[in-house]
Structure 1
Amino acid sequence: MMQWERLLSLKRHGDTHKRLRKEQDETRLGFEVDYDRIIFSPYFRSLQDKTQVIPLSKTDFVHTRLTHSLEVSVVGRSLGRLAGAEVLKTHPYLSEVHGYRFNDFGAIVAAAALAHDIGNPPFGHSGEKAIGAFFSRGPGRRYQDALSEDQFEDLVRFEGNAHGFRLLTASREGIPGGLRLSHATLGAFMKYPKGSLPRKPAPHIAAKKFGYFQSDTDSFREVAEELGLKTLGSGADRFYCRHPLTYLVEAADDICYTIIDFEDGINLGLIPEDFALEYLIKLVSDGINTEKYRAIPAMQDRLGYLRAIAINSLVRDAVRVFMENEPEILSGEFPVALLDRSRYKAQIADILNISVERIYQSPEVVEKEVAGYAILSDILEVVTGALVCQLEGELSAYDGLILKLLPETTRMPGATSVYDVLLQACSYVASLSDGAAVHLHNKISGKQL
């Protein structure tokens, strides 16, 4: 059974000493510092030009990864505070002995939720697939013999969650511990606390994907051991269970993309208003004031009213599921997402099915995702080629020019392995915004001088 007092660790990544809650400055708590460090990081700023639903959209209505992350953070804060208040009732020693408050839970979940998409490549989830395809079926396959099985798996199944953990924790010269976030926030951030192999060793949701690259194993273990995360499985199939607050971060994301992506589809005309409102009203039927709703003349305002009720209903229901299953969550035995046990599961499924059909598979999305594949593959080919040639001391004049286009942190003159430079190339490409990727591709293909 995991212990809340360890799970709420204020120790920062890179620290050599403990930090106690009762010694915190109440005007600026350590968990709130985490939020500030994330929001001022260059990785977070790049989300303003990264796809949430519609790649490269110039429409004001459509969410980017940045606006999505801010909204997920707001919902996550509410989830954390509501759950925190209940956890403190169940475990009063957390406040009486250690000094924790309900808003600590909200601050942790808000910070982790703010960062939840920070490692995602350009062009949405197709960006992850494009990077993986470059190594599994594209020019990058030639590097397989220089890599271990685990290392190659990191690349062919490139994972935005693992990249996010890398960005948050990777030390650089003069900057030990990356952003130096608290272990509690890093733990809540990790949706899949396992390496890339073996694939899905168990049906548990924590093993669905992977959450750290081989190069970041030591950082991951430091966090997991500080928090006291429980291990599951055995032998080669061993993995860690989630930090309990990860379930709330995931719920915040699930709530937002269920409701707000759907709203984007309505605003873009991909889903007819009457059809969409019918589905939303099914979700909020218990909380809607019909007279008030009918008195709202503007479609966007009606949508906003329904959105607010829907999010509130899903938040409170997610907290109910969390607290009803808290013992199983603390023991690592809760194998699904909170919304999978929601009383609104059927209504959520209906909305998601419509979103998949009308939004995620719309011609506009598919066409731009196809372009994204070509753009990322072309960039990776020249960047990996230049970095590997530099490592092997065989730079051509062209490779030298490509290196001059890259930031100093990507050139890695001190790299000692092919894996290191390939992962750094992937990190560089994944950190590009949609627009920056297009701009760089135009340069290397000679379309822009």
Structure 2
Amino acid sequence: MTMATLGYGAQERAVYAQDPGRSRGRLHPEPDSPTRTPFQRDRDRIIHSTAFRRLKHKTQVFVYHEGDHFRTRLTHTIEVSQIARSLARALRLDEDLAECLALAHDLGHTPFGHEGEDVMHECMAPFGGFDHNAQSLRVVTALEHRYAEFDGLNLAWETLEGLVKHNGPLVDATGAPLGKFRDSELPFAIRTYAQKQDLLLGTWPSAEAQAAAIADDIAYDAHDLDDGLRARLFKVEDIAEVPFLAGILEEVDSRYPGLEEQRRIHEIVRRQITRMVEDVIREGMRRLEALKPQGADDIRAAGQCVVGFSAAMADAERQVKKFLFARMYRHPDVLAVRKLVARIVRELFGHYMQQPEDMPREWAQGMERLSGADRARRVCDFIAGMTDRYAIEEHRRLFDDTPELG
């Protein structure tokens, strides 16, 4: 199959792509821009937001000072954006919307990667828990204070829809929560925003949103493998445990015998990304051809994802994640650091709940009138917005025994 067959270079949007000229608008009406589409405008607002800049000092797996070459939330976001645009271009979608959603998808993440989110969920359990996708929605609809006429970024309906439905529909036809919310309720941020604007929580999002979501998985798998190898948490030869990766390793070693380690790792990772991207394009084209959608709303009503892995690649991707979970996320060195950063987040939350006056003035103002869930949510918003470095500095300011993470 040639590059042309896969759709590379296609410029004209397909009939099922999201048309920026037919956006459902913004919660707070604004005049159209004479130079940018609604999605280009959203992309620019996200890039200029405070939350986006903070991604530079929020980590994925490693804490911020462990090395300049390991991924941060910002570098991950840029990689997701690049893959999302490639997928959108090949599938003739709106590239700007796909890019916009990729750039925004991690804005709600806490400091300290996965562990920070887990501890925040634990701290917020009595108050409805914590979910980073819901927090991303909260950031762009409430917590960014930049514009004179509204809180948040006042993004287009299609951007908010794709952001909140990053993993697919949130409720069934009766309105009952799905997936990880099946036995509880939708997060506070989603429930409260749904009272202002209907984001069609029971449908799939646009194909552009689906492209951004699968791009997130592709980037995650590739860069975690890259970071794990460079951190020497496992050896290149260990990845042969995964048949998909074993084939790539054999191809690289056969073509470039004796290749130095750094180049060897890069050749493996770049092939992993390419194979996953090309698989999504082929499978996406197959699903779209079978569905024959005549508009973006046909994608929403399809009842299934239209931009995803083939069955074979989905199985391979699960095996990659299983390998990374065992060899990287559960590695003793990573677990040791996770335990320390968990303590930092947990103790900050407890302290601010008891002594909110120790938060910056703009956060502490009015806290004496808040209790229970309202107080906890204010504290949660403050901590979730912290960078790794700021969280450590705050803990050091408030406690005498801040753990050394290096």
Q: Shorter-normalised TM-score: what interval? A: 0.7 to 0.9
Partner in structure 2 of residue 422 of structure 1: 376
Q: SS of 2:110's equivalent? A: coil
Residues 111 and 385 in structure 2, CA contact (< 8 A), matched pair in contact too: yes
For residue 259 of structure 2, what is the amino acid of its counterpart?
Answer: P
For residues 299 and 384 of structure 1, do their structure 2 counterparts lie closer, same or farther at Cα, with a shift above 3 Å needed?
same
From 68, 73, 90, the equivalent of 2:76 is 68
Tell me by how many angstroms 1:361 deviates: 0.4
Do residues 269 (structure 1) and 223 (structure 2) align? no
Write out per-residue CA displacement over residues 188-236 of structure 1, whole angstroms, 9 at most, x where no aligned residue: 22225548xx998445x8x6799974355453455545xxx3x64xxxx
Unpaired runs of at least 5, structure 2: 1-15, 292-297
Partner in structure 2 of residue 169 of structure 1: 141
Tell me by how many angstroms 1:277 deviates: 6.6
The size of the alignment, in residue pairs, is 373
Tell me by how many angstroms 1:302 deviates: 2.6
Greater shift, 413-422 or 270-279, is seen at: 413-422
TM (normalized to structure 1)? 0.72
- Matches of 2:222 and 2:269, distance apart in 1: 7
- Over the aligned positions, Cα root-mean-square deviation in angstroms equals 3.6
For residues 312 and 175 of structure 1, do their structure 2 counterparts lie closer, same or farther at Cα, with a shift above 3 Å needed?
farther
Tell me by how many angstroms 1:420 deviates: 2.9
For residues 335 and 315 of structure 1, do their structure 2 counterparts lie closer, same or farther at Cα, with a shift above 3 Å needed?
closer
Write out per-residue CA displacement over residues 299-334 of structure 1, whole angstroms, 9 at most, x where no aligned residue: 222322332232122112213333433448432511
Matched ranges for 1:153-164 at <5 A:
153=128, 157-164=129-136
Tell me by how many angstroms 1:251 deviates: 0.5
Tell me by how many angstroms 1:160 deviates: 0.8
Q: SS of 2:312's equivalent? A: coil
For residues 412 and 159 of structure 1, do their structure 2 counterparts lie closer, same or farther at Cα, with a shift above 3 Å needed?
farther
From 59, 64, 77, the equivalent of 2:67 is 59
Partner in structure 2 of residue 111 of structure 1: 100
Write out per-residue CA displacement over residues 361-380 of structure 1, whole angstroms, 9 at most, x where no aligned residue: 01121112111221112111
Partner in structure 2 of residue 299 of structure 1: 261
The percentage of counterpart residues that share the same residue type is 23
For residue 132 of structure 1, what is the amino acid of its counterpart?
Answer: H
Tell me by how many angstroms 1:271 deviates: 1.5
Tell me by how many angstroms 1:241 deviates: 3.6
From 258, 261, 272, the equivalent of 2:221 is 258
Residues 168 and 180 in structure 1, CA contact (< 8 A), matched pair in contact too: yes
For residue 58 of structure 1, what is the amino acid of its counterpart?
Answer: E
Partner in structure 1 of residue 313 of structure 2: 344
Partner in structure 1 of residue 51 of structure 2: 43
TM (normalized to structure 2)? 0.78
Tell me by how many angstroms 1:289 deviates: 7.7
Q: SS of 2:39's equivalent? A: helix
For residues 382 and 4 of structure 1, do their structure 2 counterparts lie closer, same or farther at Cα, with a shift above 3 Å needed?
same
Tell me by how many angstroms 1:282 deviates: 4.0
Partner in structure 1 of residue 301 of structure 2: 331
For residue 374 of structure 1, what is the amino acid of its counterpart?
Answer: R
Tell me by how many angstroms 1:15 deviates: 3.1
Partner in structure 2 of residue 146 of structure 1: none
Residues 26 and 156 in structure 2, CA contact (< 8 A), matched pair in contact too: yes
For residues 290 and 265 of structure 1, do their structure 2 counterparts lie closer, same or farther at Cα, with a shift above 3 Å needed?
closer
Tell me by how many angstroms 1:9 deviates: 5.0
From 112, 117, 122, the equivalent of 2:111 is 122
Residues 54 and 62 in structure 1, CA contact (< 8 A), matched pair in contact too: yes
Unpaired runs of at least 5, structure 1: 86-101, 142-151, 233-239, 388-399
- Matches of 1:419 and 1:7, distance apart in 2: 38
Partner in structure 1 of residue 40 of structure 2: 32
Residues 161 and 211 in structure 1, CA contact (< 8 A), matched pair in contact too: no
